[in-house]
Each structure stands twice: as structure tokens, then as C-alpha cells.
Structure 1
Amino acid sequence: MTASTRPEPIAIISTGCRFGGSSSRSKLWDLLRSPRDVLKKIDRFNADSYYNADGHRHGATDVRHAYLIDEDYKAFDPQFFGIKPVEAECIDPVQRILLETVYEALENAGLPVESLQGSNTAFYVGIMADDYQGLMLRDIEAIPTYFATATSRSIIANRISLIALHQAVQALRSGESTVAVAGGANQILGPEVFISESKLNMLSPNGRSHMWDERANGYARGEGWAAVVLKRLDDAIRDSDHIECVIRETGTNQDGRKQMIREAYARAGLDLANPRDLPQFFEAHGTGTKAGDPIEAEAIHGAFFDPDVRPASERRDVKLNVGSIKTVVGHTEGTAGLAGAIKASLAIQNGVIPPNMHFANLSSSLKPFYGPLQITTKALPWPSLPAGVPRRASVNSFGFGGSNAHAILESYEPPVLVNGSSSGPRARAPRPLLFSADSEKSLRRTLAVQAEYLEEHVDVDLESLAWTLQARRSALPIKTWISVVMAFHSAFVPTHSLLMQWILHTWNPRTRPVLSNTYTMKLHTRERTRA
């Protein structure tokens, strides 16, 4: 396959997400790199009243725990999205939070929403449960006016989110769209799904996914919202977008798991017999079920290690780390495929293979495939690679109706720009850091989030931050700014700490329709060496 006939690479230029134990992309990575138990007692309904140790009992479930988000899911600003409050109360919270997550992803991509008006931007979403609709139907006398339009299934595409990603990739490659967003959403509000799936022996009574472990007894349900913003790679480079990673290929089929993986690699022009073309990490569906785990392991092993692609003499030299985000944040159902893709993307970007949780003793049903396939319970540095070989990860996701999806992700290395470097102290013109929001309360929250970010990321380039805030953010009505003069000096002063102090303690808005307070700080930074 020649370069001209290979499928066009697609760039992931931004990610927005919310999962149990994490409310952003960076916090999700912190959780994945150093996992902790974020399982919670279910508080969305009286879990104890539906609990019975016998999950087959009529009207009962043997599960009382799930992976739930920390924030108040009822909090929503309809005015920000131009929605009437009376209509907003009927909109499923799963869709409200999805609106917020997609907005955050677009903002992170530097794509102001107003710049997309009238554009051919595509949006695909995977979603499963409809708990909120069921809640409203429980009181037939109190069904609100906008019930039919606000909860209609026609608003969403009821598919798994990795298929949503596949469709977004196809829309970009066909020229149907220039920007595409793939999303997923899953929320837990009622007991119905727990009761139904307990009878099918799908759920883990202890609320944990023990992937490939002898304790595997079902999956743990979790909430999750995710959105990734995509462009064709050439377009992303042209537009100077930040490229998180590249989607080399995606694929879908029905029930043919090994074949799906092989076909995706073949379409990408990758030869599975060539060690350079193999993935270094595989993000499995990995639910922790006794039936599903060995079937998937056999498919992964067969795709990469069957004798027709790799003789026995070569298998000892090839190891493939396998993991699943479900062991950390649970099975987020309609969002699960995209959750796995985001985990793989973060691992590629950071050069670290995250560990699995809840793995102690390999299940006997997995032993025929273990060895070439391995699970790590501690974070590992990404394997060293020959020159020209990108970091590469595969992602699996399956729907319980038999739909399968696969994605191949790779690292992106931007071209090195060679600039002349000047010597000696120099000063830059003031560059205002512009902050805006839809209300004063939101502006205060924005400033607090920015302060937290600067505290955690002391290497942020303030000039780049100023440009991003001015040129690649929506201009909202309530504003304030600080004009920062950056002077390079050999003595280092903690500039970000000073800026954070202003954000948290100095800024004091006047109550007027548009805030225009201006502050100037002279900050000293260490001279940066430019290649």
C-alpha cells in the first residue's frame, strides 16, 4: 500500500471528559497513572431498598455500588446555552452534562462556538441508558410540557461511542465535514438497569471489574461523559492546532473480533508480521466477565500471535501490554469505547503505560493467551522504539448486541522549528490575559480553575496562554484582564505563583454589565533556550 492510498490520518485536537473520580482530562490522567479506589455507595436512589444478595430475586439487585461523578448533576446554566429554564428541567441531565463536556472540548481545542456557526461540523454520540425519562414517567400526573421533545431518542444516536468515533472519522475522510466531534454519555439515576442486568449475571456484586482475574464476576457500572474534537491531520497542522494524537484507522463489524483487528491494520498499511508495525499497548474492552474476557483475549492473541502472522520462534521476543480503564472508573457503557480511546491517547502523550486495578491472580481460562499478552499493575515507561516508529495503541469496544469497534492511535511529533535565539535581557510588550464568562459567578469560577491549572503546571508559557485566551476562546460578556509584562532575567521569580495570587486574592470585580478591570504585573522569568 502506497502513502497515497492509505486512509487519511485524523488528528485528535482536544478532549473533554468527566468520570468517577475525575472532572477533566488532566485529572483523569492523574487517576489512571496512580489509580485509587473511587467506587461509591449509590446515592441516586435508595440502593439498600432494592438490594438482595440473590440478584435473581424479583425487583432486586445484588449491587449497591457504582462509579459516580462527584459534581451535582442537577446544576445547569440553561441561559448559557440559550435554553429556556422550563425546557431545561425536562432535558435529561445526561444530555445537559454532555452539552457542557462538548463545550469544554471545543474550548480546549481553541474553537470558539461562534466560529462553528454555519459550518459543516459533525457530531456523533454513543449513549445507552435513559434513566431520567423513566423517572419522569413514574408520576403520570406530573409529566412536564416539554417531555416529548426534551427526552426524545431522535435527539441522540443510540450507539456505542467507539462507533461514534468511527463515524466521525468517516465523515472527515469523505469531505462531508471539516470538524467532527465524537462523544459518549452515561448516567445512573434509577435501579432498573441494575435489576435487569443482575438477573442476567452481567454485574459484579462487589462493584468492581476484575479483568482477567480469577475473581472476575461481572462488570461494575460507571458514569461517564466524553468528547473528542477531530480534524484531518493536514487541516490541523495548517490551523496550528494542538495535536494530542493521530487516529491511524478505525473499523467496525459484527461478532468477528480477530478479523476486525487484522482488517483495521491492513487498511492502515501496517504489517502485523513486522514488529515495527505492532502496537505497544492494547486497551481492551476488558469488562471482567467470565465469558467475555477469554473470548476477547483469544481474539487479541490470535490477531497478533497466531502462527500465520508470527511463528512460535518469534513470539518470545514480542510482548503486548493489555489494560482496561474499566478497572479504574467502571464500565461507562455508552461512553466506554471513547473512555478507552482517551486513556490510550493520554498514555501515548505521556509515554506511560497505566496500570490495571483489581488484578492479582490470572484466571485459568486466560492462561493459554498470557505471556505474549501481559497486564501491568504498576505504571510502566513506554517501551523504547526504533527511530521512525511512533507510539501506537489499539482500542477495542463491544456492544452487547454484537457490534464491535476498533481504533488504532499513534503519537504525533510536530516538526522542529529552528529559530535564532537572542542573548541578554529583553522585555516584551504587555500581553493581557483576558478572562470572560457569561456571569460574574462563572467568571470567578473560571479564574479559580485557571489558578489551579497554573499551580499544577508551572511550565506554562504565559505568552502562549495570553494568545490562546484572546484568539481561541469565545468572547463572553463579563470580562476582566491582567496586562502582564514579561521580562527575561537570570534570576528566577515564580511568575505563576504571583499570577495565581492576583487571580485568587487581588481581583475584585465591580458590579456592572461588563467588567473591564485592568491590572499590570511585571513578571521575571528564566530565559528559555530555543532550538
Structure 2
Amino acid sequence: MPPCPDPRESLAVNVSQDSDLDRRLARDPIAIVGLSALYPKSRDLREFWANVAAAADCIEDVPATHWDVDEFYDPDPAVPDKTYAKRGGFIPDTPFNPLEFGLPPNTLEVTDVLQLLSLVVARDLLKDAGADQPWYDASRTGVVLGITGANQLTQPLTARLQTPVLKEVVRSCGLSDRDAEEIAAKFRLAYAPWEENSFPGMLGNVVAGRIANRLDLGGINMTVDAACASSLGAVKAAVSELLERRADTMLVGGCDAENTIFMYLCFSKTPALSKSGRIRPFDQDADGTLIGEGIGMLALRRLSDAERDGNQIYAVLRGIGAASDGRFKSIYAPRKEGQVLALERAYHDADCSPASVELFEAHGTGTAVGDATELSSLAAVISAATEERQYAAVGSVKSQIGHTKAAAGAAGMIKLSLALHHKVLPPTINVDQPNSAVDFANGPFYVNSALRPWVRDPKRPKRRAAVSSFGFGGTNFHLVLEEHGDGDDLKVMFPVAQVHLWHAPDTAALTAALDGDAPAQTGPVPEGHARIAFAARGAEEAAALRELALRELRARPDAESWTHPKGVFFRRRAADAAERGKVGALFAGQGSQYVNPGMTAVLAVPPLRAAFDRANRHFENAEPLSRIAFPPPAFDD
């Protein structure tokens, strides 16, 4: 099998039409220094990444707060004014304090929820980026966000204007003018009123403006509407600001909270929604997408500035490619030629080979035609650079959170940034059997259906990933990202259980200690002391087990010892000498070989993954050890 081309070499594909491109990103890459996320079942970045890594399915039934399923749902797609889908991804309840952002509470009714939630995400983004440090200059910080169409508030404000139609219908049913006026008045009460703040409160472009206003940003603020590719369109615009030295920090991303019945009807009548209620990108039985809500943002700086100022750097943006489909049979059907052009331009911009990329975050909406077209485009570009087979993972976060529309590209970019940072290959869910229309066996990639360690390939000195987004109207974007640093000094990825121990002279004193604010204790325990202990991952679990321990102590004040099934252990005093033992570790030796040996430890502990990095270097002309130990997921017995 031919070796992968040196990723430092320029892409050997047909880019003659772009020979005059200024590869500014290759010379002056962009650092991703902050991340923030609010997506289905994810209130913040930590929960978003935990759900991605755990292969969580965040799709659920439409909540009653959104629209009435009994009124608008019908399984028959042909029924007018009904949707045949009733599942999707929904942002969880999120605390919002208007006074924190200087907003009068009486303006909230006429301020779109997207403007409010985006303030929360932008605030968290600046915190994650370390904007409280001396390097941060708000006057040279801008914000560019992907937003599509009108926001939720537009619908009730527009509905109020339909009262003349309603009155005419009422009169046509034989009711009096007085009845019509009374009914119309009650109808208007169901919707937000038109007032001074209604106009700015409903506008999508004011999402960026309100962030700049409330967070006192002096750089550019604007929104980009490229349909479902809006997030990556926003990134492209923001990068230009940085490369032109018009800003030092840019807040970018996408925002979408539009899972109203209006949006369900839009996708139902296309039709694009899944009839089965499952979104399954790349699966043989994929039957459509499911829509989701979300807000994702990233903080960008020039890499040279970020390194100088000691910023945390999740990943580095190396290249951006954009293209249109041109004249084609449909304004919303995917076109391979347009996607290929965007891919070629991205690798030309990055001055690297597509064969150097080992993780592809696809647009991957779960539509059979769309997924097959996208994978065909990827295969065409990658196969022109290498004959290597099944070396690159492909996935789609939409399988977990749904298609978050304007926020979709941001979700994929955040996922890749964290994957590069933690050196893992995230899973894609709901794939029982890969799409037979795609020749995975003889192609360059495989569907990654499980969380796996990303061990460095000796033929590829840098871990690289790429993300695609495509939008109605034939717009295509592809971005190339790269790791920053080897990550050997990272903290353990997953929560590690800690032992929590308390002791006191007697059970009553021990009960009082747990009932108060006494912290867990360390060090030797006097033999005559009562003691209680448990192991917990994180503060939430520790608090629950502490409460359980307290209840058990109160229920059994005279017990000599007890053990609770949830892992709480109590003794009134030290065990007798005959009962005591020593702690031992068992190493079972060679034993039987199996797939993915020690993978959980390699995923969680960076030095163990680094050991595989070093081992792989000794397999430069053969199959790397990591490919043998942690092979791509198999779908056949």
C-alpha cells in the first residue's frame, strides 16, 4: 500500500483555476482559543462534549412548550398543514438573568429567545477564552454569527396582523360585528404585542449586535445567512477580519432556536424529515433528517498572537474552501461537482494533502441521496491523493443532536476542536449497517461508531480533521483543522472516582460531621474511631452519596458495621487484626488476546496514549500497532 503523501506537501489536485489564491491561512493559521455550546441535552460545553463522547442520543419527542402534537402531527406526509415528524433536538431549560446583561425585564416578551440565549453562550465563550486576562482588548474584538431567516418572534407578531382575516371568517359564519371584534381582541391577546422594542427584538441580525452591545465589543458585528452552512460562512468572514488585522479576537459560530411548527412544516413538505423518527447518517436504512436547536460559538485569534499571549489552544484552523454548485437541476439538491470544488480549495488554501486528514466531520444529514453524494465527493478528492484504504474516520454529530441548521457547522467544528485537543475519534451513532451505495471497503474512510483513541500515525506527523457544511441554494464550505501540541500533559479525560472518608470518635459525632460542612478527611484513622467512606465521580455524585450515608447513619445508630449496595461502607471501629488484609494488584499475564485491549485507560489517560504514539513510530513501514490494537469498528460478524 503506497504511503500517505507528506502532509507538508501541496495538494496535487486540479486547482489551476485558483493558482493565484493567497494562502494566508497556511502562513498565518488561526487558533481556536475558546469554545461554548448550548445544544440538545447540553447546557454547556462540558455537557456537550460528555454527550458526544458517550455516544448519547439527544433526540426526543417534541415538548408541549413548542407545539401541539395532537393538532399538527399526522403520519401521512400528504396531509396538508401537518407534519409527519414529532421528534427532534431541543435546547434544555437555561437560566437567564436579564439584569446581568442590563436588559429591562419588561422587554423580554418582545425580544426573541435566540438573542437572549446567545448572550449566555457568548458570555461563557469569553470566560472559556480567558478574556479576563491582560491580552484581551474588547475594542478589537468582533462577532460574526450564522443566522438563518426570521426568528421565532416574527411568527406571533405576524399572526396578530391576521385579525382582519379572522374577523371576516367570523362574520361569514353568521356572527355579528361585535362578536367578530370580541373574538379578534381575544385572539390578539395570545400573541406578543407590537411596541417600540418589537422590531429589533425579532431581527436575526440583531443577535450579533446585541452581543456586541451588551459585551462592549468594538470590532465588526454582523450575521451571515448561508442556510445550513451559515456557521462556516461566519467563520470565513471572521477569519478575513483577523488576517486583515482589523481585529485581534473574533467570536464566531451559529445560532438556531427555530424548532417551531413552522420549521417542521418547511422540512416536512420538502420532504426531508425522517419518518422513522431516527436520524441515521451513513446507515443503510437512513430515511431523512431530524431538526434540532443549538447555539455554538468559538473564539478565534491569530496563532502567533495566541502563542505569544499563552492562550489555551484547542486546535488550529489551516484552510477554508467555499464554492457554489452553479447551474443544476434543483436549488436544494446536493451536487458533487460543487462539493469537490470546495474541498479542493480548502486543501489548496491549507497547503496540505487531504490524505493527511484522519477525521472528517461530514454534513451528514441522514438523507440517503445527500449522504451518498457527500461521501462520493470526499472519496474523489482523497483518492486522488492516496490509495490508502479505510484510514480516515467519518462521522456526523447530527446523529446525536439532529440537524441544528444555522448552528450545525459550529457543532461540527466544536466537536473536531475537542477531538483534536483530547486526541480521540468521536463516535457517530445509529449506524447498524453502512450505506451499501458507498464502497467503504475500497474507499479511504470508515464510519466511526465508537469512541476510540486517536493515536498518531507515523506517516502523518500532525493530527488533522476537516468539517463540511452545505446549504440550500447550492453553497458549500469545507474547513481543515490541525492539532496544537502533543497533548501529553492533558488531564485525565473522564471523571476519576475519588475516595471520600470521614471519621469521628463515635457514630453520633460522625453523623454530625456529615450533617454539617465537614470536608472529607485524609490520613490515618485512629483504631477506635467510627468511619464511613464511599467513592464518587464528581461533586454531584458525592453529594448524593453523602446524603445517603447520612440517612443510613441516622437509621442505624447502634450498628457495628454495614455496607450499602450503592457503595457506602461503615464501621464503628477498626476491624480486628484477623479481618485485616493488604491491598494487592493482580496482573494476569499474557492471557487471551482481544480487540481494543486497555482502550478505556488509553482514552482516559494521556500518557498511555502517548506511549502508543511512540510505539507507532517503530512501525513506520508496516501496519501501526494502534491499528492492530484499536481497529476501525466492524459492522459484520
The correspondence for 2:359, drawn from 261, 265, 281, is 281
Aligned counterparts, 1:506-517, within 5 A: none
Q: Is the 8 A contact 1:207 1:221 kept in 2?
A: no
Match of residue 78 from structure 2:
56
The correspondence for 1:157, drawn from 209, 213, 224, is 224
Counterpart Cα distance in 2 of 1:153 and 1:114: 32
Match of residue 355 from structure 1:
427
- How far apart are residue 238 of structure 1 and its match? 1.2
Deviation string for 1:153-190 (max 9, x for gaps)? 44243331011112111211111110001021111352
AA matched with 1:399: G
Counterpart Cα distance in 1 of 2:43 and 2:298: 15
Unaligned segments of structure 2, at least 5 residues = 1-8, 11-22, 162-187, 207-222, 326-337, 499-521, 525-532, 545-637
Q: Is the 8 A contact 1:283 1:323 kept in 2?
A: yes
Aligned counterparts, 1:237-248, within 5 A: 237-248=307-318
Counterpart Cα distance in 1 of 2:237 and 2:352: 21
Q: Is the 8 A contact 2:321 2:347 kept in 1?
A: no
- How far apart are residue 87 of structure 1 and its match? 2.5
Match of residue 265 from structure 2:
195
AA matched with 1:165: V
Q: Is the 8 A contact 1:280 1:383 kept in 2?
A: no
- How far apart are residue 387 of structure 1 and its match? 8.0
Secondary structure (helix, strand or coil) at the match of 2:142 reads strand
Q: Is the 8 A contact 1:20 1:69 kept in 2?
A: yes
Counterpart Cα distance in 2 of 1:364 and 1:168: 39
Change (3 A) 1:118 1:41: closer
Q: Is the 8 A contact 2:279 2:289 kept in 1?
A: yes
- How far apart are residue 388 of structure 1 and its match? 7.4
Aligned counterparts, 1:10-21, within 5 A: 10-21=30-41
- How far apart are residue 415 of structure 1 and its match? 11
Secondary structure (helix, strand or coil) at the match of 2:421 reads helix
RMSD over aligned CA atoms reads 3.3
AA matched with 1:270: C
- How far apart are residue 118 of structure 1 and its match? 5.4
Counterpart Cα distance in 1 of 2:134 and 2:307: 22
Match of residue 481 from structure 1:
none
Counterpart Cα distance in 2 of 1:78 and 1:237: 36
Match of residue 548 from structure 2:
none
Match of residue 427 from structure 1:
none
Q: Is the 8 A contact 2:314 2:417 kept in 1?
A: yes
Change (3 A) 1:386 1:176: same
1:96 aligns with 2:116: yes
Aligned counterparts, 1:78-97, within 5 A: 78-97=98-117
The correspondence for 1:126, drawn from 125, 146, 157, is 146
- How far apart are residue 379 of structure 1 and its match? 1.4
Match of residue 463 from structure 1:
none
Q: Is the 8 A contact 2:422 2:487 kept in 1?
A: no
Counterpart Cα distance in 2 of 1:325 and 1:5: 26
Secondary structure (helix, strand or coil) at the match of 1:365 reads coil
Match of residue 145 from structure 1:
196
Q: Is the 8 A contact 2:125 2:299 kept in 1?
A: yes
Deviation string for 1:279-325 (max 9, x for gaps)? 0110000001122111101110001013xx33xxx334x52210000
Mean CA deviation greater in 133-142 or 110-119: 110-119
Secondary structure (helix, strand or coil) at the match of 2:437 reads helix
AA matched with 1:406: H
Change (3 A) 1:242 1:157: same
Change (3 A) 1:257 1:327: same
AA matched with 2:267: E
The correspondence for 1:67, drawn from 77, 81, 89, is 89
Counterpart Cα distance in 2 of 1:9 and 1:305: 26
Report the identity percentage: 27
TM-score, structure 2 as length reference: 0.61
AA matched with 2:51: L
Change (3 A) 1:348 1:263: same
Match of residue 390 from structure 1:
462
Q: Is the 8 A contact 2:319 2:346 kept in 1?
A: yes
Change (3 A) 1:454 1:12: closer
Change (3 A) 1:457 1:163: farther
Q: Is the 8 A contact 1:282 1:323 kept in 2?
A: yes
Q: Is the 8 A contact 2:57 2:399 kept in 1?
A: no
Match of residue 341 from structure 1:
413
1:259 aligns with 2:338: no
Aligned counterparts, 1:69-468, within 5 A: 69-72=91-94, 75-112=95-132, 119-128=139-148, 130-140=151-161, 141=188, 142-155=193-206, 156-159=223-226, 160-255=230-325, 256-272=338-354, 275=355, 278-306=356-384, 309-310=385-386, 314-316=387-389, 319-367=391-439, 371-386=443-458, 389-413=461-485, 456=495
Deviation string for 1:309-354 (max 9, x for gaps)? 33xxx334x5221000000111100000111111111111111111
AA matched with 2:197: Y
Mean CA deviation greater in 9-18 or 110-119: 110-119
Change (3 A) 1:132 1:198: same
Counterpart Cα distance in 2 of 1:398 and 1:4: 24
Counterpart Cα distance in 2 of 1:154 and 1:167: 15
TM-score, structure 1 as length reference: 0.73
Secondary structure (helix, strand or coil) at the match of 2:153 reads helix
Counterpart Cα distance in 2 of 1:169 and 1:181: 10
Change (3 A) 1:250 1:319: same
Counterpart Cα distance in 2 of 1:115 and 1:271: 34
Secondary structure (helix, strand or coil) at the match of 1:181 reads strand
- How far apart are residue 85 of structure 1 and its match? 2.1
Q: Is the 8 A contact 1:40 1:67 kept in 2?
A: yes
Q: Is the 8 A contact 2:24 2:349 kept in 1?
A: no
AA matched with 1:6: A
Larger Rg: 2
Counterpart Cα distance in 2 of 1:158 and 1:14: 23
Mean CA deviation greater in 86-95 or 164-173: 86-95
Count of aligned pairs: 425
AA matched with 1:280: E
Q: Is the 8 A contact 2:111 2:201 kept in 1?
A: yes
Match of residue 68 from structure 2:
46
Secondary structure (helix, strand or coil) at the match of 1:131 reads coil
Deviation string for 1:106-145 (max 9, x for gaps)? 0111103998675121211112252232133323443243
Counterpart Cα distance in 1 of 2:543 and 2:41: 25
Change (3 A) 1:5 1:284: closer
Secondary structure (helix, strand or coil) at the match of 1:282 reads strand
Q: Is the 8 A contact 1:56 1:198 kept in 2?
A: no
Counterpart Cα distance in 1 of 2:430 and 2:48: 18
Q: Is the 8 A contact 2:423 2:453 kept in 1?
A: yes
Secondary structure (helix, strand or coil) at the match of 2:300 reads strand
Q: Is the 8 A contact 1:95 1:185 kept in 2?
A: no
Deviation string for 1:393-429 (max 9, x for gaps)? 0100111221111111111017999xxxxxxxxxxxx
Q: Is the 8 A contact 1:455 1:500 kept in 2?
A: no
Deviation string for 1:28-72 (max 9, x for gaps)? 222111112222111211123101111232110001111112214
Match of residue 462 from structure 1:
none
Q: Is the 8 A contact 1:63 1:207 kept in 2?
A: yes
Aligned counterparts, 1:513-528, within 5 A: none
Counterpart Cα distance in 1 of 2:292 and 2:259: 11
Counterpart Cα distance in 2 of 1:5 and 1:168: 13
Counterpart Cα distance in 1 of 2:79 and 2:153: 24
Secondary structure (helix, strand or coil) at the match of 2:322 reads strand
